[in-house]
Structure 1
Amino acid sequence: MTAVFQHPGYAEEKLQRVAERLPCREVQTGMLLSLMGQPEHYSYPSIFIYGHRASGKSHVMQVLLKELELPHITVSCVECVASALLFEQVLRSFFGAEASSLLPRTSSLSDFVRIYRQQRSQSPAEQTRYIVMEKAEVLRDADANLLPALLRLQELVEDNVTVVLLSEIVWDLFRPSTGCFEPLLLHFPDYSKADLLRILSQDRHPSYSAEFYSSYINILLGVFFSVCRDLRELRHLAALNFTKFCEPLSEGKVKETDTHKLWKNIEPHLKKAMQTVYLREVSSLQWEQMQQAEEECGAPRGLSAHTHVELPFYSKFLLIAAYLASYNPARTDKRFFLKHHGKIRKTNFLKKNEKTSNHLLGPKPFPLDRLLAIFYSVVDSRVAPTASIFSQISSLVTLQLMTQVSHDDQLDAPKYKCAVSMDFICAISKTVNFDIVKYLYDFL
């Protein structure tokens, strides 16, 4: 039995429900329960929970707090653009709307602490109060005194309150240079393939057996696990492609045990779906309709929903420049993009022992200045290096069409890689009448 079932002071069936709702997170759940202790005891002042996106941080905390019926509030740091909004939400949740109305219009941290102490003396807590802050990495850009104050809020307000920070980055990138109270650190590692198989198999369709749905999830993870570990994204992909997987079964062509035939039917469909991972430019229903339309009109099978992405004009050229920078050796830029490069002998231009295609080796990282140099060369009109161009580069990274491979703190020379396929970049190039093949080193 895990620590979940041995935790004192709570009903056995309630803890059993908690364990069933949090598969593959028994260690983290047991740790949090041991930190929470008895309801009337003081808990640790601040807990810092970190891990990649969709690793169960928010879900575990919400399930524990709701099932154990502990007073809490969940705050999104993205929505609280000012600290006054955070203070108002905390006071309203714990003490009611009247308490939050006592805050001045330009409230400060001292105002919040003063009002909290007043309200706490009028309605003392019988249990630990929890403030759960999602997207806590945003706090690094807040007022300098806000994060240190939250970490020792229990001491400031003299109340049994615990602040839980949920973050996708490690504590070393949070710690203020002036020093602060050190929170208790708890890491949520990525789910393993076996963990994802166990969790996703719980979403099985009632019309099919558990073994059949588990075999489908196993096939799905075999395709997507190398490129995606996000539980929410994989759950979406599983629901999106299950109908196609069951198509031969519903038509009576195969049986549930004919895994090989079912795999052959779903394989091309999954390869198309792989190119839409993390992208939501169309709804699931629209994507299905587009695939059916392509099959009916006999469209090339290599093209995916990516070809329907509508980007701004200069973003398309930025993506083209990124693709050229990723797959062309840097030494070839002079030949391709310099108009008055003079005569370059082919023997010097080509490597004698170069046998492997750059497309087979995959995209190579390139610095920002090289990307902009190629961009200005391929765009016919003169483009000034404005903030709009740089914001479009950030947008391409957000859309997962480009990947930033350098560290976030390396501001002077960021490096990127292009993350789109050859079919996709060819389709984008056609929309701006640019013949990208003429500029690719592999196709000389």
Structure 2
Amino acid sequence: MSSSFLQKQQHPGYEEASLRIVAEQLPCRELQAGMLLSLMGEPQQYSLPTIFIYGHRASGKSHVVNVLLKELELPHVTISCAECISTALFFEQVLLTFFGGDAAAALPRTSSLSDFVRVYRHHRSRAAVEQTRYIVLEKAELLRDMDANLLPVLVRLQELVEDNVSVLLLSELPWDTFRPSTGCSEPLPLHFPDYSKAELHQILTRDRHPSYSADLYSSYIHILLGVFYAVCRDLRELRHLAALNFSKFCEPVTEGKAKESDTHKLWRNIEPHLKKAMQTVYLREVSSLEWEKMQQVEMKAGPLRGLSAHTHVELPFYSKFLLIAAYLASYNPARTDKRFFVKHHGKIKKTNFLKKNEKTSNHLLGPKPFPLDRLLAIFYSVVDSRVAPTASIFSQISSLVTLQLLTQVSHVDQLDAPKYKCAVSMDFICAISRFGRVCVQVCALFLLVHTHTHGVIYLPRTVNFDIIKYLYDFL
């Protein structure tokens, strides 16, 4: 390490000096970086045994930690729990980074926690350093699937190995969701909130194309966030979408049909492409290059036609009906369920069972939350076969929430009556419902048939559900 940096470490304002070094690389995360630096302390001093850093995906957790450790030249090892298929692999990677190949080779093939602590203590005395060693564990929530005693040991690792070592746990879940039931020491939590719209705009404008002015790219990002911010807060996803659609936004300027100040013309050119891309957020099934080729082919064939069959062809059969049921529950008043889903409901006039304010189109008011039991009741009514309420159905609901096709509006810890909202558009749900009518053509094109040993060819089960008949706004 350079002598100039050592002088900065010995200066009373070490945290401020360190933050100035990395501030340019951490836009909109200066506060979290400063708090983390204060928790870490100076390299010569003992740091906190465990720091638990949590926040949603793409909120800057890994980026801030990696920038601080690399730019300040602190000894560290970064491990993704998704890549560690065993505890032995985790132990080997830590020892290899801190003490070299001899320490990793000293571990038995079937190493245990006691073996790791023994080898670590032995090589610590031989390769002592004055600075804190940091172990960074990304996707720490996956530690729940590993040995039960691994997480309690990691929280107390500084005490067990008798070394100035600090463990940084990075997770998308709060600590309460996977605290060991056997009990262990509590780490110090540090929360990374989601980026606000202004912060996303500030970060994304840093990626501007050098061939165009900063004002043009800033207006483009403003338009992009205006379309996607309601459904996507993921910085990486937004950055990908910005890079993918910028060439289409600048197309009128490149062809000389508009100037950079003609925002209205640029918006009219990019609007259909952004709306189509919004249907496939988090559901990309092709690469960016193939997506651009598909756009070019469709532009030659004619105007954009909304959602393609590829977007929903991968959804399981019952997930499609769950999504249809969620859409009906979100846009139909609860008192209309008897009219649509009970066979012998009698004659019910439209004006008798609705309030005056419910005569306004529910599609204009937006989706409304509904409880889980109502979703399942509609699902069992519309599905064309008898389905048992198994764990598979509930896991598919969780998958739809993960894909952000459904949004859970109740608290995560509320187990008695969770509530959801449907997050898909009318075009999306109509495409899923109509899929059964064109499924034979799609199967023929993509060879989605299954040939059994007896030579009989079966087509996959289709939806073919006329959702318009079940929507109150279209009666």
Give the distance between the partners of 1:149 and 1:69, measured in 2 at CA: 26
TM-score by length of 2: 0.82
Compared CA separation, residues 308 and 28, structure 1 to 2 (3 A):
closer
What letter is aligned with 2:216? F
The one of the two structures with greater contact order (alpha-carbon pairs below 8 A, sep at least 6) is: 1
Residue 135 of structure 1 corresponds to 139
Give the distance between the partners of 2:145 and 2:410, measured in 1 at CA: 21
Compared CA separation, residues 441 and 61, structure 1 to 2 (3 A):
same
Query: 1:440 aligned to 2:457?
Result: no
| Percent identity over paired residues | 77
Query: 1:429 aligned to 2:433?
Result: yes
Query: 1:283 aligned to 2:280?
Result: no
Give the distance between the partners of 1:348 and 1:213, measured in 2 at CA: 51
Residue 56 of structure 1 corresponds to 60
CA-atom RMSD in angstroms: 3.0
Q: 1:235 aligns with which of 232, 235, 239?
A: 239
Q: 2:346 aligns with which of 343, 347, 351?
A: 343
CA contact (8 A) 2:272 2:304 kept: no
Residue 27 of structure 1 corresponds to 31
Give the distance between the partners of 1:305 and 1:295, measured in 2 at CA: 14
CA contact (8 A) 2:280 2:311 kept: no
CA contact (8 A) 1:275 1:306 kept: no
Give the drift of 1:396. Answer: 2.3
Q: How many residues align?
A: 438
Q: 1:361 aligns with which of 351, 354, 365?
A: 365
Residue 275 of structure 2 corresponds to 271
Compared CA separation, residues 408 and 37, structure 1 to 2 (3 A):
closer
Q: 2:195 aligns with which of 191, 199, 204?
A: 191
SS in 2 for 1:346: coil
CA contact (8 A) 2:307 2:431 kept: no
Give the distance between the partners of 2:415 and 2:139, measured in 1 at CA: 22
CA contact (8 A) 1:307 1:428 kept: no
TM-score by length of 1: 0.88
Give the distance between the partners of 1:190 and 1:312, measured in 2 at CA: 31
CA contact (8 A) 1:368 1:414 kept: yes
**Residues 82-115 of structure 1, C-alpha deviations (whole Å, 9 max, x = no match):** 4343223222222234433443444332232222
Structure 2 counterparts to residues 168-317 of structure 1, below 5 A:
168-176=172-180, 180-298=184-302, 301=305, 303-305=306-308, 308-310=311-313, 311-317=315-321
Moved more, 149-158 or 207-216: 207-216
SS in 2 for 1:280: coil
SS in 2 for 1:344: coil
Give the distance between the partners of 1:384 and 1:79, measured in 2 at CA: 36
Q: 2:376 aligns with which of 369, 372, 378?
A: 372
Q: 1:145 aligns with which of 123, 146, 149?
A: 149
Query: Which 4+ runs in 1 deviate beyond 6 A?
Result: 10-15
Give the distance between the partners of 1:380 and 1:274, measured in 2 at CA: 30
What letter is aligned with 1:417? K
Structure 2 counterparts to residues 95-114 of structure 1, below 5 A:
95-114=99-118
Give the distance between the partners of 1:188 and 1:72, measured in 2 at CA: 21
Give the distance between the partners of 1:420 and 1:307, measured in 2 at CA: 16
Q: 1:154 aligns with which of 134, 144, 158?
A: 158
Give the drift of 1:74. Answer: 1.0
SS in 2 for 1:420: coil
What letter is aligned with 2:431? A
Question: Which 5+ residue runs of structure 2 have no aligned equivalent?
Answer: 437-463
Give the distance between the partners of 2:44 and 2:301, measured in 1 at CA: 68
